[in-house]
């Protein structure tokens, strides 16, 4: 079995956690119209771990990411990075969005150099950093293009380079490849794996795709339908595999089957909720 | 690093198609313009055949051109044609420049700060439906018959347009882009200067182009009373003497002014916000 159930909030993991989600919940609105987006959630990610969160639509996985990113405040509990409570957005937590977050009025190089410049680096130094990260994501020749001149896949590479350019402690990725076609997505998945191995970043990855989660992550978290809470979590070894075709092995299929089974009930529940609303 | 899955020239077949269509449409536009001119020639005769429409109602293009040359050399009612043109341009220009210099920042502030919006929205929204030309008599009482009242009546028409379009432009900026900037460590000022302001530019430009058109229209109203110069005044005065050729010269100069200003702003827009609407 290539996946093993694991308690990601186990007491043994908490003191060493790079990223700690401690009793976080989120309720939107108040009174009768209040919506519980996220039930009380505990999660600890150690340095260098790649944690993928899968769950049905509207299960609060993006809300969880937004809280860790500092875009939203939790209703209860707290999220912390290296033991320091998160109070707002910060450069130590790089965010990659699904799409539409690039600065369309800037060249690709200026997009990537935005972070270093915002942190007070000079123009030339920032440009040099941008060139390095554009090289890392394979966009060396596109520094002076504008985002609208690039394909969706290339735009996501810019987003990844931009987030990496500030050398964040953790990368928060909110369905970064969801809008891409299958072929582009597979290539980018391999690349993000290579980048993760090379840089050793802690990554929190939100996705709809079980395959993507199993292929990339060291840990896969399955969430329930709204209000989302952690239904199960697994340690997962496929990300260590050198074989790019590991997704076609029987062990992978077996692991996928186990998680699909868990997620199916939740997706049905989510659909039921939607129909009732 | 793996090779790019989708690298290549960003130019596609669709672009060549667009370029062909553009070229065709440019010729169609020119043809349409030429047809209008030909019709004008035909109905007025232009000295080649008897006019179908009396010159008092519609002088021929040749007569209008001759009148233009005459006006350009000898002037109209004590002022050169250039003077009339420049004084009109100045009245518009000062009002427009004021509205850009004040209206854009006010609109941006309204867009970014709900408190500022709460204070400034009522005065702008309640006065917006008033036809500003109706206020001209009041402005003349308040500010006299000089340049000030004319400039103010034009500015009064442009200010709400420009400030509200700037406000809406800021409010339409995607939250994701702001969040992206925040998580890259940008402070409030950096976010304003490098995200909110550039992201609002397309919306601001739209407001500016609309107000150029309206501003030229307002010139006619502003030069209706208490004036003795200006292109619109020239046309209005000539109409009193049934000098239809002079009226047409004035109208065409104002049309050219409006068209020229619009072209300038289109050009500026293309240069400054070539990325607008393309994600």
> What is the distance in angstroms between the CA of the first residue and the CA of the last residue of chain B?
26
**pLDDT-based confidence at A276, cuts 50/70/90?**
confident
pLDDT value of residue B14: 66
**pLDDT-based confidence at A59, cuts 50/70/90?**
confident
Which residues lie across from A84 on neighbouring strands?
A: A81
**pLDDT-based confidence at B18, cuts 50/70/90?**
confident
Whether B279 has its CB under 8 Å from any CB of chain A: the answer is yes
SS3 B21: helix
Q: How near does any CA of chain B get to the CA of A131, in Å?
A: 15
Q: Could B279 and A147 be called an inter-chain contact, meaning their C-beta atoms sit closer than 8 Å?
A: yes
**CB nearest to B2's CB, from A104, A162, A190:** A190
| pLDDT at B208 exceeding the cut of 90 | yes
| pLDDT at B12 exceeding the cut of 80 | no
- Higher pLDDT, residue A32 or B110: B110
Q: What is the pLDDT of residues B77-87, one digit of tens each?
A: 999 999 999 99
Whether A121 has its CB under 8 Å from any CB of chain B: the answer is no
> What is the distance in angstroms between the CA of the first residue and the CA of the last residue of chain A?
40
SS3 A44: strand
d(CA A111, CA A129): 11
- Contact assessment for residue A25 and residue A77, using Cβ atoms and an 8 Å cutoff: yes
| pLDDT at B3 exceeding the cut of 50 | no
Task: Report the pLDDT averaged over residues B122-134.
Answer: 90
Residue A100 Ramachandran class (φ > 0 left, ψ -120 to 50 alpha, else beta): left
**pLDDT-based confidence at A118, cuts 50/70/90?**
very high
**What's the mean per-residue pLDDT of chain A?**
91
C-alpha separations of B125 from A103, B96, B121, B154 in Å:
32, 20, 6, 17
Cβ-count burial A194-230 (b if 16+ within 10 Å, e if not):
ebbeeeebbbbbbbbbbbbbbbbbbbbbbbbbbbbbb
C-alpha separations of A213 from A151, A161, A255, A265 in Å:
24, 21, 11, 18
Computed from CA positions of residues A136, A138, A139, A140, in that sequence, does the dihedral angle turn out positive or negative? positive
Residue A48 Ramachandran class (φ > 0 left, ψ -120 to 50 alpha, else beta): left
**Largest Cα–Cα separation, chain A:** 56
- CB-CB neighbours of A173 under 10 Å: 26
Task: Report the pLDDT averaged over residues A40-45.
Answer: 93
Task: Report the pLDDT averaged over residues A232-252.
Answer: 88
- Contact assessment for residue B146 and residue B90, using Cβ atoms and an 8 Å cutoff: no
| pLDDT at B6 exceeding the cut of 50 | no
**CB nearest to B185's CB, from A91, A101, A137:** A91
Whether B14 has its CB under 8 Å from any CB of chain A: the answer is no
B171's enclosing H/E stretch is helix B147-171
d(CA B71, CA B226): 22
Task: Report the pLDDT averaged over residues B207-229.
Answer: 89
| pLDDT at B191 exceeding the cut of 70 | yes
Order of strands, edge to edge, in the sheet holding A230-236? Answer: A3-5, A230-236, A219-223, A50-54, A202-207, A170-174, A93-96
Q: What is the pLDDT of residues A134-166, one digit of tens each?
A: 999 999 999 999 999 999 999 999 999 999 999
**Across chain A, where does the E strand assignment appear?**
3-5, 19-28, 35-45, 50-54, 76-81, 84-85, 93-96, 170-174, 202-207, 219-223, 230-236
Whether B271 has its CB under 8 Å from any CB of chain A: the answer is no
Q: What is the DSSP string of A58-70?
A: TSSHHHHHHHHHT
pLDDT value of residue A117: 96
**B198 to chain A: closest CA residue:** A105
Nearest to B221 by CA among B77, B83, B82, B88: B88
Partners of residue B279 in chain A, C-beta under 8 Å: 99-100, 104, 147-148
- Contact assessment for residue B92 and residue B212, using Cβ atoms and an 8 Å cutoff: no
Q: What is the pLDDT of residues B130-159, one digit of tens each?
A: 999 899 999 999 999 888 999 999 999 999
- Higher pLDDT, residue B17 or B183: B183
Q: How near does any CA of chain A get to the CA of B6, in Å?
A: 7
Residue B212 token pair: 């150029």
pLDDT value of residue A226: 82
d(CA B66, CA B193): 52
Nearest to B199 by CA among B106, B124, B263, B111: B111
Q: What is the pLDDT of residues B52-105, one digit of tens each?
A: 888 889 999 999 999 999 999 999 999 999 999 999 999 999 999 999 999 999
d(CA B235, CA B264): 25
| pLDDT at A266 exceeding the cut of 90 | no
Backbone angles phi, psi at A203, to 5 degrees: -125, 135
Whether A147 has its CB under 8 Å from any CB of chain B: the answer is yes
CA-angle at A72, arms to A71 and A74, nearest 5°: 145
pLDDT value of residue A225: 84
**pLDDT-based confidence at A1, cuts 50/70/90?**
low
SS3 A199: helix
Q: Could A100 and B176 be called an inter-chain contact, meaning their C-beta atoms sit closer than 8 Å?
A: yes
Whether B189 has its CB under 8 Å from any CB of chain A: the answer is no
pLDDT value of residue A189: 92
């990260």: which residue's tokens?
Answer: A133
Partners of residue A138 in chain B, C-beta under 8 Å: 1-4
Q: What is the pLDDT of residues B220-241, one digit of tens each?
A: 889 988 888 999 999 999 999 9
Whether A85 has its CB under 8 Å from any CB of chain B: the answer is no
Q: Could B279 and A148 be called an inter-chain contact, meaning their C-beta atoms sit closer than 8 Å?
A: yes
**Largest Cα–Cα separation, chain B:** 80
- Higher pLDDT, residue B160 or B47: B160
Q: What is the DSSP string of B192-259?
A: IIIIIHHHHHHHHHHHHHHHHHHHHHHHHHHTSSS-S-SHHHHHHHHHHTT-HHHHHHHHHHHHHHHH
pLDDT value of residue B157: 94
d(CA A129, CA A19): 26
Partners of residue B188 in chain A, C-beta under 8 Å: none
**pLDDT-based confidence at B4, cuts 50/70/90?**
very low
Q: What is the pLDDT of residues A5-17, one digit of tens each?
A: 988 888 888 888 9
Q: What is the pLDDT of residues A183-226, one digit of tens each?
A: 999 999 999 998 999 889 999 999 989 999 999 999 999 998 88
Whether A65 has its CB under 8 Å from any CB of chain B: the answer is no
pLDDT value of residue A247: 87
């Amino acid at each position: 079995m290539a996946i093993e159930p694991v308690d990601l909030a186990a007491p043994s993991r908490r003191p060493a956690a790079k990223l700690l989600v401690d009793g976080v919940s989120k309720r939107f609105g108040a009174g009768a119209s209040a919506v519980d987006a996220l039930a009380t959630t505990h999660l600890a990610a150690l340095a260098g771990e790649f944690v993928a969160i899968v769950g049905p639509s509207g299960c609060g996985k993006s809300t969880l990411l937004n809280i860790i990113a500092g875009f939203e405040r939790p209703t209860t509990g707290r999220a912390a990075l290296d033991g320091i409570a998160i109070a707002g957005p910060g450069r130590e937590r790089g965010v990659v969005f699904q799409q539409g977050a690039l600065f369309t009025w800037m060249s690709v190089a200026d997009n990537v150099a935005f972070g270093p410049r915002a942190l007070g680096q000079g123009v030339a130094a920032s440009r040099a950093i941008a060139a390095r990260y554009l090289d890392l994501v394979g966009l060396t020749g596109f520094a002076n293009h504008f985002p609208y001149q690039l394909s969706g896949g290339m735009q996501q590479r810019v987003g990844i380079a931009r987030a990496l350019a500030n050398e964040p402690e953790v990368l928060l990725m909110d369905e970064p490849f969801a809008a891409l076609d299958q072929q582009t997505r597979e290539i980018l998945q391999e690349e993000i794996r290579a980048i993760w191995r090379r840089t050793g970043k802690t990554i929190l990855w939100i996705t709809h795709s079980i395959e993507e989660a199993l292929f990339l992550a060291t840990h896969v978290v399955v969430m329930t339908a709204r209000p989302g809470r952690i239904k199960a979590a697994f340690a997962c070894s496929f990300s260590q595999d050198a074989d790019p075709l590991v997704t076609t092995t029987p062990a992978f299929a077996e692991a996928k089957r186990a998680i699909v089974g868990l997620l199916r009930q939740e997706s049905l529940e989510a659909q039921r909720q939607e129909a009732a609303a | 690093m793996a090779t790019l899955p989708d690298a290549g020239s960003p130019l596609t077949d669709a672009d060549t198609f667009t370029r062909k269509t553009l070229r065709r449409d440019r010729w169609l536009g020119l043809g349409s313009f030429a047809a209008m001119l030909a019709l004008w020639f035909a109905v007025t005769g232009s000295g080649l055949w008897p006019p179908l429409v009396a010159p008092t109602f519609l002088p021929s293009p040749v007569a209008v051109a001759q009148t233009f040359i005459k006006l350009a050399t000898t002037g109209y009612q004590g002022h050169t044609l250039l003077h009339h043109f420049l004084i009109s341009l100045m009245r518009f220009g000062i009002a427009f420049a004021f509205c850009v210099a004040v209206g854009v920042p006010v609109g941006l502030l309204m867009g970014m700060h709900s408190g500022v919006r709460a204070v400034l929205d009522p005065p702008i929204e309640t006065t917006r439906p008033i036809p500003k030309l109706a206020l001209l008599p009041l402005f003349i009482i308040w500010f006299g018959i000089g340049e000030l009242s004319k400039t103010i009546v034009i500015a009064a028409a442009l200010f709400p347009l420009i400030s509200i379009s700037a406000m809406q432009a800021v409010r339409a900026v995607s939250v994701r882009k702001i969040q992206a900037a925040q998580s890259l460590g940008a402070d409030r000022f950096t976010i304003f200067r490098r995200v909110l302001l550039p992201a609002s530019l397309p919306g601001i430009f739209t407001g500016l182009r609309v107000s150029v058109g309206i501003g030229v229209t307002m010139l006619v109203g502003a030069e209706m009373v208490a004036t003795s110069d200006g292109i619109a005044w020239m046309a209005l005065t000539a109409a009193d003497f049934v000098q239809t050729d002079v009226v047409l010269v004035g109208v065409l100069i104002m049309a050219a002014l409006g068209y020229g200003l619009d072209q300038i702003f289109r050009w500026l827009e293309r240069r400054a916000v070539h990325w607008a609407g393309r994600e």
